[in-house]
Chain A
Amino acid sequence: MAVLSTNSVPGEPKQYSSTQVGTWLALIALIMTGLQYAGMLPALLHRLPENWIPPFAIWLDAAFNFIRTDLGLQKLTRWFAEGPLQFMLDTTANLLYGKKRWPRFEQIPWSAIAASAAVLGYYLGGWRLAALAGGTFVWTALIGQWKDAMETMSVLVVAAPMAFIIGIGLGIAAWKYVWVDRAIKPILSILQTLPFFTYLLPAVIFFKVGPTAGAVATIIYAIPPMILMTTLGLKKVSPEVVEAGKMSGSTRWQMLRHVYIPAARTEILVGVNQVIMLCLAMVVLTAFIGMPGLGAKLLAMMGSFKLGRSFEIGVTIVLLAVTLDRLSKAWVVKLPEHHEKGTPWWKRHIYLLVGLAAFVFFTVLGQFVEWFAEIGRRQSFSQGKEIDTAIKSFLAFDIVKGTTEQIRYVLNVWVLNPFRDFLLSIPTFGFILFVVAGALALGGKRSGIYAAIFFGLVALTGWWDRSVITLYSVISAVTLAMIIGLPVGVFASRSEAWSRRVLLICDTAQTFPSFIYLIPAIMLFGITATSVVMSILIFAMVPLVRYTIEGLRNVPPEMTEAADMSGATKMQKLWSVQLPLALPTMAVGFNQAIMFAFFMVIIAAFIGTQDLGQELQKTLAGTDLGKNFVLGICVSLMALTFDMAIMTWAEGKKRMLGL
């Protein structure tokens, strides 16, 4: 280091590469850590003194209070929550599970909904989708979860359309006006990394507890992808179609209504798919703020360790998710087809008519045969207790018990705890330098500077230790996920058939609401720290495997053929041709894995963690908006640092490789 610095002529502009600067910073950090271990580091370099920490939470609270009461925002939001929103939610709740509130509508029999869903499934995707859609609702009714499921659905059917309307509106505005786009972009990237607990508390404060707040949090959570897909779709409309519209003498409104939006149909519908899936994921999670439904049931069952019932609810949620996903995706690819001339009216609308007929038939049937209208608790086929015993006796087998306990022991004592203690022992300043060094090496100067600012802010909030523990869970889970996921991905990518199978599993798994991933972890490892890491691990593995396969499969065939013709062995081909070319794509997967992990680690607070998530969950009970936001922003800033560095690296690499 000394030699290097004497080499540089004073006054000459700095010419060190980001990597060099990064190495220096890492070295300084290393020395600081060393000093800390030797007990020679001044205390204020180890952790920021308490009195240095600005009271962000109090400032934010003051700001929120001003907006809430002085500006009267709360009056407006409360009016909205108690007026129109409550009305819509009550309407859907009446229809779906007979909430019996004004406006009074009769409950729709479950059989009528199942039959209509089956017809819709058949219309969109043939017998398989019909079986999936119909089957899901039949299962839900038979297993005795109809009311819970419909509580969830009643919020979903209000939240999804609203998120769609707001999202498409903002998307159009962002596409049309550059300043809107510029204003929205940073907000979107923060929203997408903000932990969901941070959505919940403001929703509660501004929109009351229960379904209304749940609906609002859900809507806000689901808007960003709709905005992004709308702008993407509108930008992609072929210039000739646009010109054709203009040459036909369309006014601006006609252009938007008849040319742009229909031509961007595919992207907009993909946005709809994402809105529905995010809404479902979020509605389940709003159980934390007292939203009844499947999520609340699952939370209660898991909390009391009733594994059988948890499993059944999990299956219901998964089935609902897969059904909604497949139906909306089928809608994306469903293109209009013409009817032969002279097709009678009823034949053109055959599916609509059959659907209506089925609906009416079962509704009427439900009036006479109670079973078709509602299945009571005692009539259901729930096997909760039996499954519970089965799982518990399975876990009690010596081999199973031995294995899980072995894993738990090894992980905890040899890997997780030492790693956590090591991270906590690094001085704050040294830790920041490490992160900045990494960001510099990966993403260059800009990423480095942002890393310094972001992590500096995290340190200033005073939640440093909790943040480090959050980070520790993320890093260890993602590392474990890589150790398992990458070989799986590499192996699967070797054959067409396996790639397809594994990708299908990943695709399906990705539609599950994140809550679901807690179930297997809790089943195997109980309510322990290992479960936290395990649930994150499973969740984060999905994008890792997926992008590894996609990266490797998308290596241009000329390159692999060239490698084959150069006489490369399979291993040589993998290491020197396929992996280097697939790396940028794999990095995207890695990034997503980290984002997923940040998301999951917060949810895992429910199991009992010591990180930011735990603190966040505590804030939900009170009205401490300031603290809630500070904690949320901490998570967001850390996630953004990784996101920026990795994505910049991946894009640079892609450009370099000419991909």
Chain B
Amino acid sequence: MTKEAPVISCKNVWKIFGDNPEAYLKKMPAGHTFDDIRADGYIAGVKDVSIEVARGEMLVIMGLSGSGKSTLVRCFSRLHDITGGTIEVEGQDVMALSEKELIDLRRNKMGMVFQSFGLLPHRTVLDNVAFPLEMRGQDRHTRRERALEVIKLVGLEGREDYFPRELSGGQQQRVGIARSLAIEPDIWFLDEPFSALDPLIRREMQDEFLRLQEMLGKTIVFITHDFDEALRLADRIAIMKDGAVEQCDTPDQIVMNPATEYVRKFTEDIDKARVVHASILAEADAKGEGEPVAAAATIHDLAGALIADARDYIPVQDGDAIIGALSRQKALKVLVGAN
């Protein structure tokens, strides 16, 4: 597999809030912790983060409120100017862009969905969705056509003339999503898009979101503080604490091999059997016999078979190839939640 250049790549990114943060960062001794920085009267919003997002990947950034996840995403789109390090989007250093280039980048490549929707209260659904197109100077007719198309995509047909306050929370966020998709962005930022919604609606919107993603296949950076949501959606999860990324890995790895104590605590109450796939438990040097199980199946999917089966090692098959065998004992441990 040849590795394509990442869509977003950031190296040693710092974002410090306070008076003259650049000067502070320069003279700050290495190894200063979040609390040390705070003692100096500064807040480390993003602390030495290096992360890459591959094309078509869905990276979920999660952490508690104040952990810096929203700040990091706003650095990607340069809603915040970073204090140190570099961020490249599609190979361009975003900090080096002129105002015009930045506007062009946002007009053509980026879409963003906000937690409290960020809809313009004085515009109808149609005008809100068409807003980015209008900014770009598209004529009335084409932007109306395109806006109607996306409105249909998010299932708000017939409500084009409504004003945001006449819609429910879930519907408002559909407008937010439609607006962010109107320009057909390559990169899609979602900042806790479903946090302000009721649990039932949230579930519905997540399904809707997955459906859209399946159709569109965008590069996505998704922020959430809800671990279940992260596990449901993510290709990879980055867990943040005090501005720094604690671990960035696939859901299986995060659950099975937490890098730090903080991450372990996070994963403690998770039903691991629903997250962990057979592939991750497959030991390449182990040999199993008999009927193989699919690599993509979760332990939860295999629960019945695992309990009924008598074999110690069960072969795991990915596509046509056998990639190894999983220990039934270990799999059962995952199933009952013992570590």
Identify the A interface with B (CB < 8 A): 238, 240-241, 243-251, 254, 258-259, 262-263, 265, 335-341
Query: Is B163 in contact with A249, judged by CB distance below 8 angstroms?
Result: no
Query: Is B79 in contact with A240, judged by CB distance below 8 angstroms?
Result: no
Query: Is A244 in contact with B114, judged by CB distance below 8 angstroms?
Result: yes
Query: Is B132 in contact with A240, judged by CB distance below 8 angstroms?
Result: no
Query: Is A244 in contact with B103, judged by CB distance below 8 angstroms?
Result: no
Query: Is A258 in contact with B77, judged by CB distance below 8 angstroms?
Result: no
Judge whether B112 is part of the interface by a CB distance below 8 angstroms. yes
Query: Is B122 in contact with A263, judged by CB distance below 8 angstroms?
Result: yes
Cα–Cα distance between A336 and B123 once the two chains are bound (Å): 9
Judge whether B124 is part of the interface by a CB distance below 8 angstroms. yes
Judge whether B162 is part of the interface by a CB distance below 8 angstroms. yes
Query: Is B161 in contact with A240, judged by CB distance below 8 angstroms?
Result: no
Instruction: For the complex, count residues of B whose C-beta is within 8 A of A.
Output: 38
Query: Is A259 in contact with B114, judged by CB distance below 8 angstroms?
Result: no
With A335-B163, A336-B163, A338-B163 in contact, do A243 and B79 touch (Cβ < 8 Å)? yes
Among residues of B, the one whose C-beta sits closest to the C-beta of A250 is: B135
The distance from the CB of A252 to the nearest CB of chain B, in whole angstroms, is 8
Query: Is B162 in contact with A338, judged by CB distance below 8 angstroms?
Result: yes
Query: Is A338 in contact with B161, judged by CB distance below 8 angstroms?
Result: yes
Judge whether B312 is part of the interface by a CB distance below 8 angstroms. no
A250: chain B residues at CB < 8 Å are 103, 135
Please name 12 further chain A to chain B contacts, defined as beta carbons within 8 Å, in addition to the given A241-B119, A248-B107, sorted by A numbering.
A238-B118, A244-B118, A247-B132, A247-B180, A248-B179, A258-B135, A259-B120, A262-B122, A265-B121, A337-B163, A338-B161, A338-B163
Judge whether B111 is part of the interface by a CB distance below 8 angstroms. yes
Query: Is A240 in contact with B115, judged by CB distance below 8 angstroms?
Result: yes
Tell me which residues from 91 to 140 in chain B have a Cβ below 8 Å from any Cβ of chain A. 103-108, 110-112, 114-124, 131-132, 134-136
Cα–Cα distance between A258 and B122 once the two chains are bound (Å): 9
Identify the B interface with A (CB < 8 A): 74, 77, 79, 103-108, 110-112, 114-124, 131-132, 134-136, 158, 161-163, 165-166, 176, 179-180, 189
Listed by A's residue number, 29 A-B pairs whose Cβ atoms lie within 8 Å are A240-B115, A240-B116, A241-B119, A241-B120, A243-B74, A244-B114, A244-B118, A244-B176, A245-B120, A247-B79, A247-B112, A247-B132, A248-B106, A249-B106, A250-B103, A250-B135, A251-B103, A251-B135, A258-B131, A258-B134, A262-B121, A262-B122, A263-B121, A263-B122, A336-B163, A338-B124, A338-B161, A338-B162, A341-B158
Cα–Cα distance between A254 and B131 once the two chains are bound (Å): 11
A249: chain B residues at CB < 8 Å are 103-108, 132, 135-136
Give which listed residue, A243, A338, A340, contacts B114 with CB less than 8 A.
A243
Query: Is A240 in contact with B114, judged by CB distance below 8 angstroms?
Result: yes
Query: Is A338 in contact with B166, judged by CB distance below 8 angstroms?
Result: yes
Query: Is B161 in contact with A258, judged by CB distance below 8 angstroms?
Result: no
Give which listed residue, A240, A258, A335, contacts B117 with CB less than 8 A.
A240
Give which listed residue, A246, A265, A339, contacts B79 with CB less than 8 A.
A246
B106: chain A residues at CB < 8 Å are 246-249
Cα–Cα distance between A244 and B166 once the two chains are bound (Å): 20
With A243-B74, A247-B77 in contact, do A335 and B116 touch (Cβ < 8 Å)? no
Cα–Cα distance between A630 and B123 once the two chains are bound (Å): 51
B120: chain A residues at CB < 8 Å are 241, 244-245, 258-259, 262-263
B114: chain A residues at CB < 8 Å are 240, 243-244
